[in-house]
Structure 1
Amino acid sequence: MDSLFGWMAWTPPIAIFFSAIVLMLLVMTFWELKSPTTERKGFLPISTTRGDRLFIGLLAAAYLNLAWAGLTELDQAIGAAIGFMLMLIVMRWG
């Protein structure tokens, strides 16, 4: 077995990525327990909660990252940074 579970290569960037997502989910869970959210309307065409905006922001960042990797020859770190900014925009004003 050449990787931890035999089906995925756990490189440091992959481990950091998944750890960050788990950390975000834990923080959002504790935040929700401490201060329950209400739906609000931002620039998205639907009323959303914090959790909805996190999910939509993560999906948007993932799709942007895939498009960046597939359509440009530029450094992937730039695409990841733009995806992160997109997620923050959706979380704040979505």
Structure 2
Amino acid sequence: MTSLSDFSWPNFSWMAWTWQTAAFFAVIALLILGMGLWEAASPGGAPRHGILRFETTRGDRLFISLLGSAFIHLAWLGLSGLDLWWALVLSVVFAIGVFRFV
């Protein structure tokens, strides 16, 4: 029988945990929390048909925004030598567009 003291925690020393990495995950958590609070305050969110011509909810639009932002950042890293702050600005504009028109 093994005891709790025999348990060894995984070694995460290979991960580059910087304040930027922590801020990234904190923002994702805050977005999900904010969407949950918004849903609690105003249930349903009136699904709508936008330029994609299929029904989307607020959660769908958040997912599309996050997925698109990931691709924007990956493309920025691969194709541009400029700072990632510009990719962040482009991602925020993309997210506003998704929530407005999709």
Normalised by the length of structure 2, the TM-score is: 0.81
- RMSD of aligned C-alpha atoms? 1.5
Deviations 1:54-92 (Å, cap 9, x if unpaired)?
000110111011001101112211112101210121022
Q: Which amino acid aligns with 2:25?
A: F
Gaps (5+ residues) in structure 2?
1-10
Partner of 1:58: 66
User: How many residues of Structure 1 are paired with residues of Structure 2 in the alignment?
Assistant: 91
Gaps (5+ residues) in structure 1?
none
Identity of aligned residues (%): 45
Normalised by the length of structure 1, the TM-score is: 0.87
Work out the CA distance in 2 between the residues paired with 1:8 and 1:84: 27
Larger Rg, first or second structure (1 or 2): 2
1:30 to 6, 20, 37: 37
Work out the CA distance in 2 between the residues paired with 1:84 and 1:48: 19
